[in-house]
Amino acid sequence: MKIHDLDATGLLCPLPVLKLRKRLAALTPGDCMRVRADDPAAIIDVPHFCTEAGHHLIETSTEGAAQIYLVRKGG
């Protein structure tokens, strides 16, 4: 399993999820993306996107003003 990083801080809805979708498309199923976002809507958007797209939200945490999401690509 390889972990990739996506810094989506400063981006507002729907850009964090759109960038996550684009970056996940290039990964192999089972690889992970660590997303850093500070958009308050991401708390709802990222889990919803994962459920709808068949990805697995492994972990959510907070780091300062940002939320960190660890997403495993489904497939």
CATH number for 52 = 3.30.110.40
Average pLDDT, the chain: 97
What's the total number of domains in the chain?
1
Q: Would you place residue 34 in the very low, low, confident or very high pLDDT band (cuts 50, 70, 90)?
A: very high
Give per-residue pLDDT as tens, 45-74: 999 999 999 999 999 999 999 999 999 999
Q: Above 90 in pLDDT, residue 1? A: no
Q: Which residues are catalytic?
A: 13
Burial of 61 (0-12, 13-18, 19+ CB in 10 A): exposed
Domain that holds residue 8: 3-72
Confidence at residue 48, expressed as pLDDT on a 0 to 100 scale: 98
Among candidate residues 18, 58, 53, 12, the one with its CA nearest the CA of residue 34:
58
Stated pTM of the model: 0.95
